[in-house]
Chain A
Amino acid sequence: MRNFPITLPMKAASTLINAWKECTITRELEETKREGIRAFRDVNVKSIEESSAILKLYLERTFQERAVVIRKMFDHLDKGLADGNMQLASDAMTAIVSVLKHSPLAEARKIISDIRDPNVKMIEI
């Protein structure tokens, strides 16, 4: 026992202390990384959800407006056909075709692109 080299327990203790230190540092480092990841996630998810909400609202309103216009144009068409007023009927049908020709999704796509673009200061809807 007397000849037991003192370096052995010291070396063992040193190894354990180093492992403990490394473990503590890693834990703190990883926790910081996780906080960063969550923050990045929260910002991105919020941004996408907000743009989705705008997109949904825009499309809902647009389709509602279009439905009203189309319904009224069909009323005009029926009146034109019943009265023999072909100009009215023709104009009503031109309007129906014109409204349907334009996809609300195309404009919505631009709005979303503008929302994502930091250089765009104002979005016209």
Chain B
Amino acid sequence: MVPLLWIGAALLGVGGLAAAIDAKDTFSAAKRIGERARRKHENVLSELESLRSEVNSDLENLGKLKISIFKNQIAHLVNVIRKYAPSRSVLKNFQVSISTEEFRKMEQLVLGAFEIEKGLASGVSTGALAAVGAYGSVGMLATASTGTAISGLSGVAATNATLAWFGGGSLAAGGFGMTGGAFALAGVVLGPALAITGFMMSSKADKALTEACEYESDVDIKVAKLDQTKVVLNSLREYTGEMTSALIHLAERFDAIKVSDDRNRNSFEKMVVVGKSLKGLLDIPIMSGDGTPTEGIKSKISGYIEV
């Protein structure tokens, strides 16, 4: 009876040793899975960061363009109107009207553009350009013209857009903490492993493998969401490009037809009509201050011209 028990125990002991060797391989596999997932997450975050920089750069360029148009085309329009149509009633006979209030705001925005440019030259408004590009002219330039510290104007537009897309915060790189990656493998292995049987080691290894799979799964889901954020950011670039292109084209039209006085009423009217539309484009925000998109596309544009 006793020898049989010893033989049985010995066989199980050998099995335990085999399990210990197997556990080592399982631990290695868990570690590989965790590290691979961590690298994948880091790579996607890095790609997303590059894309966000590109979006911010596009918005900065749009901001520069807007400031340039305010300083040149809109300033010209304001000067000519001020000089040749100073009375608040003068413009009402044109097909397009500019109210006194609108005109006052235009003057204010031109001043704001000069203020921002001054700030850029002295380096205090770094970061404001992207905000000018993203949030439309009214808020940013009006703020600048009232003497608000330009340095406080932030250019985190692209970051806000990505955060807003998922309701905020879900982009956070630290979301997984230390659940994965190394996931305290050392602590799992060392200590108990030295003292316990191969079977217990094997159980620990299986649990570690599950943890690694759980981490990998979280990363895969997170990466899929980050990929969706890339689609959003690329569209933001597209929208910024669309706006930039339209502004350039309309500013070119303005330059082609602008006049310096009102001797020719038709030419004067043309300039006012194009100038007012140019100002309308400058006012359009690409996004809200909190990064959410502006109005939806389902607008009524029927009734204008058939395309």
Which A residues lie at the B interface, using CB under 8 A? Answer: 4, 6, 9-10, 12-13, 16-17, 19-20, 22-23, 26-27, 30-31, 33-34, 37-38, 40-41, 44-45, 48-49, 51-52, 55-56, 59, 62-63, 66-70, 72-74, 76-78, 81, 84, 86-110, 112
Contact = CB atoms under 8 A, between A and B. Distances in A.
B217 A41 contact: yes
A108 B305 contact: no
15 contacts: A9-B2, A12-B9, A16-B16, A23-B203, A37-B217, A41-B221, A48-B224, A59-B238, A70-B242, A81-B257, A88-B305, A90-B96, A94-B277, A96-B246, A103-B296
Nearest to A105: B293
Given A20-B12, A22-B203, 18 more contacts: A4-B2, A9-B5, A9-B6, A16-B9, A22-B200, A26-B206, A27-B202, A34-B210, A38-B217, A94-B277, A96-B277, A96-B281, A104-B297, A105-B235, A106-B294, A108-B232, A108-B235, A108-B293
Contacts of B253: 77-78, 81
A44 B209 CA distance: 21
A107 B297 contact: yes
A103 B5 CA distance: 79
Contacts of B293: 103, 105-106, 108-109
Contacts of B225: 48
A44 B95 contact: no
8 interchain residue pairs of minimum CB distance? A93-B277, A41-B217, A106-B293, A105-B293, A19-B199, A23-B199, A48-B224, A26-B203
A67 B95 CA distance: 28
Contact of A55 (B221, B228, B273): B228
Contacts of B296: 102-103, 106-107, 110
Contact of A73 (B1, B8, B216, B307): B307
B266 A92 contact: no
Tell me whether chain B's interface is mostly helix, strand or loop, or mixed: helix
Nearest to A112: B228
A81 B16 CA distance: 90
A33 B225 CA distance: 24
Interface size classification for chain B = 35 or more
A34 B301 CA distance: 54
B199 A67 contact: no
B210 A52 contact: no
